Structure 1
């Protein structure tokens, strides 16, 4: 692997003793590091938190967050044979394809553990919990996650919407406030409609949360909070199957996190709504 892990191994002898301990831990447990804070890593490597910061700069990373993103990308690409739809063959029987797609989705979701930053996720949960309204938006395959998010949060009593028509959505953004949250969902982060609405939301001081890839994503750069999905699809002709699963997984986790932090009164209202649905089910 000629990436960041190999760079660490090559430079290990040039580092200070504390930085060496950080480097050795990373090379021995690379899959654990993307979900850690700098404090977590300092405890595991038995060094100060400042040593972790110095280590990152010694290997050419601007900060610990940047280092984690590069490491997560490298680890995700190492799984490319598992998350690449080129592994699906025309000769496969239907049930064999089912097994392969299931395995692809499983590894796509597991790869999100490497790409998603813990502090960013916790910040997103806090902002959503206190939001006066939540606006979801996505195009194509990403619209599925946006619809699901809008539905889930509306069940918690939030003013939560997903408007698929771009012009209608644009006409709604003036009603956003500094307490509002705009969740922009795009695998590439390059979809013009998503970017334009995100900019409109920023102009109203709303918090913009991006669910997108970190690599070459304009949406990632303009968002206040970045919830990164792994680059799990190489063949766009198949359709955004695995990427949609990662988006739905993040939405589901946000929903459950907000639900668990909700007041007892809101939980009771949720139960009442659930009982009403069951009573009138046809």
Structure 2
């Protein structure tokens, strides 16, 4: 997946029907579309030039020309490495290599659309809150627990609760000086949306990691960090998403530790305690 495809995918749900037609046409044949002028595309799919121009700017490009140049970027290199038709006859290493490659793509694409402003807003918020409650449901609980594990080693006062009903109850103890840190792959989970809705009513700031910038959950959030993932015949999209989300959490922790804590005190304290639980070399 090229950077253009990642951006298009994360914004797709919020596009108009005509804009989606343009995206579908481009992605159906990237090589051909990248060589077409805005007039060519307009005539081919019967969509106005103004619509295509608005789409370009909505996706963050200055013009259609800039978007067109990005459409094909990276397509050749990736298509030559990816195994599009894995079969039972492929070796174990080939199949494993494909899995690793798809993980790398998710990480690279997530990194490529990171925005300095979003990261700064997230860190500035975490630096001033009294308590950060970290919530995730289903597979996203893995990411939420990892975030809690990371930030326990910092100065951030954070909590992590697995059970949805307990998460709901815990919101009664939070206020506008606290924050919610939500993780949701699709951003459409009803329970997560309910948590965010209650938080909004209480003016509790929300940081969300999701793959869809325009999902219902994202629209309720103050700060959105997008994780890019891809679905293949053998690998569900959520698997790639988990890896990208964990990487985002790790990046936030590193930034917080360097920019906010600015010393090793918290890391050394937690490390010293953990070391007590391990056998020394003399005990081996």
TM-score (ref. length: structure 1) = 0.69
**Hey, what does 1:278 align to over in structure 2?**
275
* Separation of aligned partners in 1, 2:138 and 2:243: 14
Structure 1 CA distance for aligned equivalents of residues 139 and 83 of structure 2:
16
User: 1:166, 1:193 within 8 Å by CA — same for their partners in 2?
Assistant: yes
- 2:155: which partner in 1? 157
Report how many residues are paired: 236
How far off is 1:269 after superposition? 3.4
Do the aligned partners of 1:83 and 1:232 also contact (CA within 8 Å) in 2?
A: no
Distance of 1:231 and 1:102 partners within structure 2: 13
Alpha-carbon distance between aligned partners in 2 of 1:149 and 1:227, rounded to the nearest angstrom: 14
Corresponding position of 1:267: 264
Distance 1:179 1:63 in 2: 36
**Separation in 1, partners of 2:189, 2:92:** 33
**What residue in structure 2 maps to residue 49 of structure 1?**
none
Task: Identify which of 4, 7, 10 aligns with 2:37.
Answer: 10
**CA 1:119–1:139: 2 relative to 1, 3 Å:** same
Is the Cα–Cα contact under 8 Å of residues 185 and 211 in structure 1 kept in the other structure? yes
Matched with 2:224 is: 226
SS at match of 1:240: helix
Q: Secondary structure at the match of 1:211?
A: strand
Unaligned stretches of 5+ residues in structure 1: 13-55
After superposition, the C-alpha distances for 1:63-84 in whole angstroms (9 at most, x for unaligned) are: 667559x96x968996996999
| CA distance in 1 between partners of 2:113 and 2:253 (Å) | 19
- Can you give the 5+ residue segments of structure 2 that lack an aligned partner in the other structure? 1-22, 40-49, 280-284
Closer/same/farther in 2, CA of residues 75 and 268 from structure 1, 3 Å limit: farther
Alignment RMSD (CA, Å)? 3.7
Change beyond 3 A, Cα 1:114–1:167: same
Matched, 1:59 2:86: no
- 1:121 is matched with 119
Hey, what does 2:109 align to over in structure 1? 111
Tell me what 2:87 maps to: 89
Return the match for 1:210 from 199, 205, 208. 208
1:102 alignment partner in structure 2: 100
Q: Is the 8 A contact 1:142 1:186 kept in 2?
A: yes
Partner of 1:161, secondary structure, is: strand
Question: Quick check: 2:229–2:237 contact (8 Å CA) kept in 1?
Answer: no
In the superposition, the TM-score normalised over structure 2's length comes to: 0.69
Distance 1:199 1:158 in 2: 24
Assess, with a 3 A threshold, how the Cα gap between structure 1 residues 247 and 277 changes in structure 2: closer, same or farther. Answer: same
